[in-house]
């Protein structure tokens, strides 16, 4: 249950765009430099993000990337889905061991855990927009914990 490299760097690239002013753009070279990755790698990530509809690109001199909509309207849950090519649907068809289908046919105590976990993560991510990640570390951390603090508290009470 780790974040993948593609998720991490893709999100970072997107945040670079989110921090731009109106009408500003960044080229692949800019992004690569700012995130300390190769231009080729940045290119691939931006291509994914473009396909996912988060950024728009213009080619040619004076070209570059910018967000395709305001950072307030881009939720982490969507971004992660695109970057990690996330499909919980096919899970039970892919983890079959050496067999043709999962051995836990019909009734399975693990499936709800896998799916439930996925829900929890998606849920947490769907509360957060790119815009909320722009401040300083301290501010972002506070925001993040304010959002999820509620969950924490209620569980403790519930116990």
Can you give the binding site for its own copies, defined by CB under 8 A?
1-5, 7-9, 11-12, 15, 34-38, 76, 80, 84, 86, 95-99, 102-104, 107-114, 116-117, 119-121, 123-125, 127-128, 133-137, 140-141, 144-145, 147-148, 150-155, 158
- Select from 65, 80, 82, 133 the one that contacts DNA (CB under 7 A): 65
At what angle are helices 39-51 and 5-18 packed, to 10 degrees? 80
- The Cα–Cα gap between 143 and 79 comes to 19
Does 17 bind DNA (CB under 7 A)? Our answer is no
CA 159 vs CA 23, 83, 152, 155: distances in Å? 51, 36, 11, 6
- Select from 17, 28, 74, 82 the one that contacts DNA (CB under 7 A): 28
109: helix, coil or strand? Answer: coil
Please give the structure tokens belonging to residue 61: 């001199």
Closest C-alpha to 131, from 59, 67, 62: 67
Please give the structure tokens belonging to residue 98: 């050496």
Q: Which does 154 bind (CB under 5 to 8 A by kind): its own copies, DNA, none?
A: its own copies
Q: Which does 15 bind (CB under 5 to 8 A by kind): its own copies, DNA, none?
A: its own copies
Q: Which residues between 78 and 117 bind DNA (CB under 7 A)? A: 98
C-beta of 66 vs 122, nearer to DNA:
66
- The Cα–Cα gap between 52 and 82 comes to 6
Q: What are the residues binding DNA (CB under 7 A)?
A: 4-6, 9, 26-29, 37-38, 40-41, 43-44, 46-47, 50-51, 57-65, 98
């Amino acid at each position: 249950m780790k974040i993948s490299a593609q998720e991490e760097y893709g999100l970072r690239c997107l945040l670079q765009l989110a921090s731009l002013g109106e009408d500003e753009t960044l080229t692949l070279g800019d992004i690569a430099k700012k995130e300390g990755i190769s231009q080729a790698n940045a290119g691939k990530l931006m291509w994914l993000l473009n396909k996912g509809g988060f950024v728009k690109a213009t080619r040619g001199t004076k070209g570059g990337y910018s967000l395709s909509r305001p950072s307030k309207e881009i939720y982490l849950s969507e971004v992660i889905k695109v970057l990690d090519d996330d499909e919980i649907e096919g899970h039970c068809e892919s983890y079959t061991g050496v067999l043709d289908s999962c051995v836990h046919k019909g009734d399975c105590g693990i499936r709800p855990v896998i799916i439930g976990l996925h829900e929890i993560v998606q849920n947490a991510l769907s509360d957060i927009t790119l815009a909320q990640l722009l401040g300083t570390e301290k501010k972002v951390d506070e925001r993040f914990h304010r959002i999820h603090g509620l969950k924490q508290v209620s569980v403790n009470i519930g116990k």
